[in-house]
Structure 1
Amino acid sequence: MRALVTGGAGFIGSHLVDVLQEAGDEVTVVDRLRTEANLQRAIERGARLVSADVTDVPAMLEAFAEARPEVVFHLAAQIDVRRSVEDPSMDAHQNVGGTAAILEAARVGGARRVILASTAAVYGDPVRLPIAEDTEIAPLAPYGASKAAAESYLALFSRAYGLSTLALRMSNVYGPRQSPHGEAGVIAIWCSAAAEDRPVTVFGDGAQTRDFVYVEDVVRGFLAAAHTADEGALNLSTGVETSLVDLAATLGLRTESGPGRLGEIARSSLDPSAAAARLGWRASTPLAEGLRKTLASMRGE
């Protein structure tokens, strides 16, 4: 198929591009291209690159007209929760405005389907775990709110224009190529520390939990979603809670204590059963194996 991946130079996007090309698909990448390091192999294989911001509507219309994608994987986003709190207008511009621009370009360009990379952050901190898709949307930060709004635009374009859309709400994705800097997840930061034999800071009591899902499993979920007609929203997750204390122990890290952080979600685990039923998808990488691969990548092995 002809596929277009926004944010294709990023952590998850570059893995998706690789797998699409391995399947023989024609791939166009739209990215602001702060770095092309993750795309070197894709470029050699013939991936077409468009250096542009997804909020630039004329640029998106032009890119889609040239690429004529059948399926659009929309992964470009502002993903730093702290930045979203500091500058909610910027966050909304990127995540809501960018999604609206992509949907309009997809509609005008005749794309068959748009799949959005959404997040567990739309749920906030619900009482009942694991979190199913019918749980109330109640984000705790502008980032989660902007992703929830982006999902609403998918539903709107589906109703108004018949565009096939699906949002994939990912839990905490980790794996090779995830930067340990900036908006990185805890596993990237802690694997970097383990590779350099540095201690890590555990904020609060360390009992807070996350649902860690390996990037290769997530990519399989996106591919499965591309070949179905399912709409709405689905969780991509393991359904397993892991505490930060247990994560540090698994990585053999020395820890230091820090104060708890305001607004941090205490527990998180998403129910993946709907994705299993509707997409035939399940996460298959045990945490220990995924950590081993991620740590090896950090060490350059």
Structure 2
Amino acid sequence: MEEKIKYKILVTGGAGFIGSNLVDKLIEIGHTVVVVDNLSTGNADFLSPLALFYQQDIRDYKVLDMIFESHKFDYVFHLAAQISVPDSVKNPNKDAEINIMGTLNLLELCLKYGVKKLIFSSTGGAIYGDNAPIPTSEEYCPHPMSPYAISKLASEHYIRFFSDQYSLNYSILRYSNVYGPKQTPKGEAGVVAIFTEKMLNNEETYIYGDGEQVRDFIHVYDVVEANILSLQKGDKEVINISTNSKTTINELFNIMKKETEYNKFPIYKPQRAGDINVSLLSNDKAKIVLGWYPKLKLQEGVKNTIDWYRTSI
């Protein structure tokens, strides 16, 4: 049996929710992994002890340069970002500094040190806007409605520029609403993590808007698998990573209420600025280009997430 090639891989944001799950899988299959994370929202406790960790900021070009020079990475997974839509609305300058300038630093260093490929974590849940056809394919021109989504789209454009100008290889993965183990209700707050904490602690649970907003919830293990496949597939492609399955926030609430045996009703609050009403992404391209498809149904994934939270937090 042919031995699989092992690579030296950088994961930015590798102490975060998605990043730490990705690091675990990369190490499990035998790659050498270096993590750069400033721990602004990440958690060092989530990091594998087998990963080499630098607590650094992607905006610091000089430090990043030294890290690239020391390790000569084959591949870079870029997940480090300011990811809060409400925070981006409050402070668009900071959002752009992290998401755009940080990405440019990495692009320049990928070129300088001959990285084989950059795999970029983008957003499908925010980037397409409210008037997109449902389900939304990658062919639809995005209409971002928040500074966060704008900075992610700008980063995509810079990646394509570096590819066209300098032949840098890449895959851009646009995630729908990711949930799962290691997503905490603080910092990287996702609704599944927030509901989990509130329900298990029997606290009041808030829904912003009428709860009929449609989301496309995808489990982090499926997202990790898409990233792993992108090492060898999906070159110079933008790919939605999603379930192509509708769930309203009210439906999610009821699924989680049953799983946690929660006995309160939600409290409805005004919808937040920058939030979109409907997000449902086509995953046809991911199936064709990556040979990927989502494996975890929402009910199973929610149970997995709640079980993790009960034993780990």
- Normalised to the residue count of structure 1, the TM-score between the two structures is 0.95
Count of residues paired in the alignment = 297
Partner of residue 112, structure 2: 108
Q: Distance in 1 between matches of 2:112 and 2:75?
A: 13
- Which whole-Å CA distance do the structure 2 matches of 1:182 and 1:7 have between them? 13
Query: For residues 171-207 of structure 1, what are the alpha-carbon distances to aligned partners after superposition, in whole Å with 9 as ceiling and x for unaligned?
Result: 0000011111234011110011121122311222211
1:217 aligns with 2:228: no
Residue type of the alignment partner of 1:270:
L
Residue in structure 2 matching 1:19, options 14, 21, 25: 25
Confirm whether residue 95 of structure 1 aligns to residue 99 of structure 2.
Answer: yes
- The alignment's C-alpha RMSD in Å is 1.3
Gap runs ≥5 in structure 2? 1-6
Q: How does 1:234-245 map to 2 (within 5 A)?
A: 234-245=239-250
Distance in 2 of aligned mates of 1:300 and 1:201: 24
Matched letter for residue 36 of structure 1 = A
Q: 1:109 corresponds to which letter in structure 2?
A: Y
Contact 1:3 1:28 in 2 (8 A): yes
State the distance in 1 between where 2:94 and 2:198 align. Answer: 31
For 1:8, the equivalent position in structure 2 comes to: 14
SS in 2 for 1:103: helix
1:56 is aligned to 60
Contact 1:170 1:236 (C-alpha < 8 Å) held by counterparts = yes
2:9 aligned partner, one-letter code: A
Which is worse superposed, 69-78 or 26-35? 26-35
Structure 1 residues 223 and 52, CA gap change in structure 2 (3 angstroms): same
- Counterpart CA distance in 2 for 1:229 and 1:267 is 27
**Which residue is equivalent to 1:296?**
307
Deviation at 1:229, TM superposition (A): 5.0
Secondary structure at 2:288's aligned position in 1? helix
Question: Deviation above 6 Å: which 4+ runs of structure 1?
Answer: none
- SS of the residue corresponding to residue 117 of structure 1 reads strand
Q: How far does the alpha carbon of each residue in 1:37-70 deviate from its partner, in whole angstroms, 9 at most, with x for none?
A: 101xx22x2x211221111111111111111111
2:278 maps to which residue?
A: 267
Given that 2:176 and 2:240 are in contact with CA atoms closer than 8 Å, whether structure 1 keeps it comes out as yes
* Alignment partners' CA distance in 1, 2:67 and 2:303: 38
Q: Which residue is 1:150 aligned to?
A: 155
**Partner residue of 1:280?**
291
Paired residue type of 1:284: K
Structure 1 unaligned regions, length at least 5: none
Verify: 1:203 aligned to 2:208, yes or no. yes
Secondary structure, in 3 states, of the residue corresponding to 1:73?
strand
TM-score between both structures, scaled by the size of structure 2: 0.92
Question: Counterpart amino acid of 1:198?
Answer: E
